Amino acid sequence: MHALRAQFPVLAQSIHGQPLAYLDNGATTQTPLAVQQALQQFEQRDRANIHRGVHTLSQRATDAFEAARGVLKRFVGAGREHELVFTSGTTEALNIVAQGLWAAGPGKAWLRAGDRIIVSGLEHHANLIPWQQAARMTGAELVILQPDAQGRVHVQDLQALLTPATRVFAITAGANATGERPPYEEMLQLARAAGALTVLDAAQAVGHGMPALATLDCDYMAFSGHKMYGPMGTGALVGRRQALQLLYPLRLGGDMVEWVSYEDAGFAQLPARLEGGTPNVGGAVGLAAAAQFIDSVGRSAIDQHLHALRARAVAGLSAIDGITVLAPHATQAALVSFVARDVHPHDIGTLLDERGIAVRTGHHCAEPLHNHFGLGPTTRASFALYNTAEEVDRLIAAVAHAVKVFQ
């Protein structure tokens, strides 16, 4: 993996006189040259609007966009029953699903008063707030699958919550605040068997260990490009065609209609139906290049590397007096979150930055989960394929120093 660092020019810089150790990959990963070159080639050769032009550049851009769709469908292991809709990221994808299930209005929408929506208590706000709103708009009941004191969610707890009224079950494939990997395969299966539509937030998982989508009982899966070595402002919603068809389109306008009169409009077939307006065409091309880059390295090799870095970080940080690591049992995680007795995470983050180490501090957009733990903000270090054991050791040494300075 170390040789691959040369593919990421941004890493070869100093911050405050120290070599950059970029450990904020759960928020955003860096892009390799292959992605940067794909973006540049699109901008320099093929840039034009898609689907609406007969000229050569428009056709080239359309071909590149549709080829990227094919690459990404293969990357996530989509089956024949699946379609991929380009979005600006996970947040937009989840909003397209949640709003799409109520926006058609009473009598037409999937969600109705009295229905049950179950959402796990591990979720990023992007997979919670749209469901709060869906419940509010329809009169459905929002029920949380509560984590235990260690931040695990259990299949039998979900079983107890599933009722004939359950119409939606939404869960993450990897909790961004703790690294917890829930048993989502079994949970999706149970929820779907109970008649619910199932939603998987794959933002923290799609770049590494995830089963092929076709093997999951998943109706909708969302992910972001910028967390898998791809461009910012890119991502996708991949779903079963039948489930996508249920969604009232969130983005109404150009490119998503078959006919329009002053009074009415007929929506296009999928995927155009859910892709109103001009998409980020270059971004889609760059995102496909990121998927190809990941596959060229190999997802199991990446996983092994990330898990080893996480294990090293957990061992080193846990050994520091005053540090508590969240979810130390989550061995398949690519991140580690921790709190220091009597030291504010922002102080730790600032001291680490002075040593060239980039980590994230705060609630990581999962405030209810932090409240569940009875915790305030935490510090999170998150790893990518280009990180090294030496960077992890620098992190551990710097945290030990911070604890001494501030306690």
* Residues recognised as catalytic: 365
Closest approach of ligand PLP to the CB of residue 202, in Å = 8
Nearest to 122 by CA among 50, 194, 177, 187: 177
Nearest to 226 by CA among 403, 384, 109: 384
Candidate segments 67-75, 119-127, 237-245, 381-389, binder of ligand PLP by CB under 6 A: 119-127
Candidate segments 87-95, 209-217, 264-272, 303-311, binder of ligand PLP by CB under 6 A: 87-95
By the rule CB under 6 A, 99 interacts with ligand PLP: no
* Smaller CB separation from ligand PLP, 109 or 119: 119
User: Cα–Cα distance between 261 and 164 in angstroms, integer?
Assistant: 41
249-283: burial string, b at 16+ Cβ within 10 Å, e else: bbbeeebbbeeeeeeeeebbebbbbbbbeebbbbb
The binder of ligand PLP chosen from 61, 64, 89, 386 (CB under 6 A): 89
* Smaller CB separation from ligand PLP, 28 or 59: 28
By the rule CB under 6 A, 201 interacts with ligand PLP: yes
Is residue 55 classed as helix, strand or coil in its secondary structure? coil
- As to burial, measured by CB atoms within 10 angstroms (0-12 exposed, 13-18 middle, 19+ buried), residue 24 is buried
* Smaller CB separation from ligand PLP, 287 or 351: 287
Nearest to 180 by CA among 152, 213, 145: 152
CB 213 within 8 A of CB 221: yes
By the rule CB under 6 A, 166 interacts with ligand PLP: no
Closest approach of ligand PLP to the CB of residue 244, in Å = 19
- For 10, 13, 52, 169, 187, the CA distances from 6, given in Å and listed in that order, are 9, 12, 39, 42, 40
CB 168 within 8 A of CB 131: yes
Candidate segments 198-206, 288-296, 324-332, 393-401, binder of ligand PLP by CB under 6 A: 198-206
Closest approach of ligand PLP to the CB of residue 27, in Å = 6
By the rule CB under 6 A, 355 interacts with ligand PLP: no
Q: Which long-range contacts (CB under 8 A, 24 or more apart) does 252-261 make?
A: 252/276, 253/277, 254/278, 255/51, 255/52
* Smaller CB separation from ligand PLP, 115 or 201: 201
Candidate segments 31-39, 123-131, 146-154, 291-299, binder of ligand PLP by CB under 6 A: 123-131
By the rule CB under 6 A, 240 interacts with ligand PLP: no
By the rule CB under 6 A, 224 interacts with ligand PLP: yes
**Interface positions with ligand PLP (CB under 6 A):** 27, 89-91, 124, 126-127, 172, 176, 201, 203-204, 224
